[in-house]
Amino acid sequence: MIDWYSVGFGALWILGLGLVTTALSFANYLVSQQKRRFKQALEMPACRIMIDLGLVFFCLGWTGSVSAAWERIVWAVLALIFAVRTWQARKMRNV
């Protein structure tokens, strides 16, 4: 029998890592095309949103994957922190 609960949460953290990797790749592309520094590319709102959103998914995936209550709380708090950072970067992008 397939444990769909574990499959779902495993997919979340893998999706999160995929988003972070995509953001780093996009930042590397900007560095090569626009002659920027890597740090400048990472500070762009688009990269920051994608990295923080990826970290939200990563933390949510681990929230459902761990067994100890204190670990779930830590991962959930981290997910909340990155969600707030994502929201702030989104607002900064719209300004």
The 10s digit of each residue's pLDDT in 50-90 is: 999 999 999 999 999 999 999 999 999 999 999 999 998 88
Local structure of 44: helix, strand or coil = coil
Work out the average pLDDT over 10-22.
Answer: 95
Distance from C-alpha of 33 to C-alpha of 26, rounded to nearest angstrom = 10
| pTM score | 0.87
Distance from C-alpha of 36 to C-alpha of 76, rounded to nearest angstrom = 35
Distance from C-alpha of 8 to C-alpha of 51, rounded to nearest angstrom = 21
Distance from C-alpha of 54 to C-alpha of 12, rounded to nearest angstrom = 9
Inter-residue contact 62 to 13 (CB < 8 Å): yes
Residue 18 identity (one-letter amino acid): G
User: Is the pLDDT at 95 greater than 60, yes or no?
Assistant: no
